[in-house]
Amino acid sequence: MPKGFGDKLVIAISSRALFNLDESHQVYVNEGLAAYAQYQIEHEDEVLAPGDAFPLVKKLLRLNERLGGEPRVEVILLSRNSADTGLRVFNSVEHYGLKISRAAFCGGTSPYRYASAFGCHLFLSTEPDDVRQALDHGMAAATLIASNNRVENEDELRFAFDGDAVIFSDEAEQVYKLQGLSAFTESEKASAKEPLSGGPFKQFLAALQGLQAEFGESCPIRTALVTARSAPAHERVIRTLRAWNIRIDESLFLGGLSKGTFLKAYGADVFFDDQQMHCDSAREHVATGHVPHGIANRPLS
Alpha helices in the chain (DSSP H): 15-18, 22-31, 33-42, 54-67, 87-95, 112-117, 128-136, 171-179, 181-190, 202-215, 234-244, 260-266, 276-282
Which residue in the list 52, 162, 170, 269 is annotated as catalytic? 162
Cβ-Cβ contacts under 8 Å for 193 (sequence gap 6 or more): 236, 239
- Active-site residue flag, 162: yes
Q: 3-state class of 147 per DSSP?
A: coil
Instruction: Compute φ and ψ for 82, nearest 5 degrees.
Output: -85, 170
Nearest CA to 221 out of 158, 134, 298 is that of 158
Euclidean distance between CA atoms 162 and 260, whole angstroms:
12
Using DSSP, state whether 159 is helix, strand or coil. Answer: strand
- State the pairing for strand pair 102-105/9-14: unpaired
Tally of CB atoms within 10 A around 186: 14
Residue type, 291: V
Catalytic residues: 162
